[in-house]
Amino acid sequence: MKWTIDPTHSNIQFSVRHMGLSTVRGTFGQVSGTISEEGGTVSAGEADIDLSSINTNMAARDEHLRGPDFFDVAANPTAHFHLVKADRKGAELTVTGDLSIRGVTKPVTLKGEVAGPAKDPWGNTKVSASVEGKISRKEWGLVWNQTLETGGLLVSDEVKLAIDVQAVAAA
């Protein structure tokens, strides 16, 4: 069975420490992709994230993140996730895949849970997954930072990810 990611019911969130004091959160509002399943086991999956859809609730910061110091959206408009393995035990899910940002591909592992399948009120069959993990932004070449007068850094290296995906069975 093939599933198509429903972008209106999917969300990619991230958070980073700012000045070692607070947490800045943001989302990527546009994600698309497919998931293939054989005999109840996920066999393949791909997702594309529109990096221009970043939103941290501060326009100037969003523009900086879209620029060459971070994602360089003009040259690298999307991030890509290629599923390598999905391990499901009941509702528990571990997803391993290759994440590509700015031409750099690194493995990531995310853990969470899966729900469904279930039919919506219009007869569409849907499934969902909620997974979380941490990455080092420096591994993808996202190294811009500023040193604070206290000696700390403006932006942490560690990025926490929280991803909620709902997918609909392809017709």
pLDDT in tens, 134-171: 999 999 988 888 888 888 888 989 999 999 999 999 87
Task: Give the other-Cβ count within 10 Å of 120's Cβ.
Answer: 12
Domain range summary for the chain, segments of one domain joined by +:
2-169
Q: DSSP letters of 80-98? A: EEEEEEEEEETTEEEEEEE
SS3 116: strand
Q: What is the pTM for the complete model shown?
A: 0.91
**Token couple for 170:** 């392809």
SS3 101: strand
Query: What whole-number distance in Å separates Cα of residue 1 and Cα of residue 21?
Result: 46
Pairing mode, if any, of strands 41-50 and 54-55? unpaired
CATH classification number, 2-169, choose in 3.30.70.141, 2.40.128.110, 2.40.30.10, 2.30.30.230: 2.40.128.110
pLDDT in tens, 82-134: 999 999 999 999 999 999 999 999 999 999 999 989 999 999 999 999 999 99
What values do phi and psi take at 35, rounded to 5? Answer: -135, 135
Determine the pLDDT at residue 21: 81
